[in-house]
Amino acid sequence: MDFQFIVRVSPMFVKGAWLTVSLAFWGLVLSLTIGLFCALVRYWRWPVISRLAGVYIELARNTPLMIQLFFLYYGLPRLGVLLEGRTCAIVGLAFLGGGYMAEAIRGGLTAVSRGQIEAGLSIGFKRFDLLRYVILPQALAVSLPAITATCIFLIKETSVFSIVALPDLMYVAKDLLKEGHSTESNLLLVLSYLVIILPVSLVFGYLERRVRFAGFGD
């Protein structure tokens, strides 16, 4: 184990990790937004839009992120649309994640009993108020484990961002492998992803326990 090499290249992994975290953050935010919208559209069964959301979900969940990135980065320029690597990464991750988030949230929405919805309507709740105060809190609590798994899955999927020429963690590791320090490079790569993903897992685990303690997940 070459510790001098590890000390020398650690700043490169820190920089790559920061890029990975920033791209993953925006991708997750957009994924949750898209997923929530699609889940609500399908839950309320809005004509046409619900069908379009269903087509999008199937397309997003059944195509690899790498193929989506290839299309965004190499395919769209042929159509006259140029996107920089960071934009392609965020859009691709949001497109993929939105489909998974939509199904996770929709599962929570369908878990809310019809009796509670009817009770809310009987006391004069409008649709938006019913959604805000009755349906969504319970739905998100039920779907939290699935959302957690999806977030971790999407963070790990950022490992393919290097194909759009972004100096993320995987790009740094591949570049350093040329120097012949495969063990050290792979170790730093594993540790970097562990440092990123473990806090996310712990935070969501804490939220799940709080939700169960509050009785929302029952």
Q: What is the pLDDT along the chain (218 residues), one digit of tens a residue?
A: 778 888 888 898 899 999 999 999 999 999 999 999 999 999 888 889 999 999 999 999 999 999 999 999 999 999 889 889 899 999 999 999 999 999 999 988 988 887 877 777 777 777 777 888 888 888 888 899 999 999 999 999 998 888 887 878 888 888 887 777 788 888 899 999 999 999 999 998 888 888 776 655 55
Place of tokens 């990975």: 20
> Which stretch of DSSP H or E encloses residue 83?
none
Q: What is the DSSP letter of 42?
A: H
Answer whether 0.85 is exceeded by the pTM. Answer: yes
Helices 182-214/3-44 angle, 10° precision: 40
Q: Are 200 and 156 in contact (CB under 8 A)?
A: no
Dig out the tokens for 119 from the structure.
Answer: 């009770």
Domains with residue ranges and CATH for the chain: 3-214 (1.10.3720.10)
Residue type, 152: I
Give the pLDDT confidence score for residue 129 in this predicted structure.
Answer: 79
Would you state the pLDDT for residue 213?
Answer: 65
What per-residue confidence (pLDDT) applies to 69?
93
194 and 186 Cβ atoms separated by less than 8 Å: no
CA distances from 120 to 110, 143, 157, 175 (A): 16, 21, 40, 58
Residues 6+ positions from 168 with CB-CB distance below 8 Å:
16, 19, 20, 23, 158, 159, 161, 162
Predicted confidence at residue 152, as pLDDT, reads 93
Check if the beta carbon of residue 160 is closer than 8 Å to that of residue 69. Answer: yes
Task: Please give the Cα distance from 95 to 87 (Å, whole number).
Answer: 12
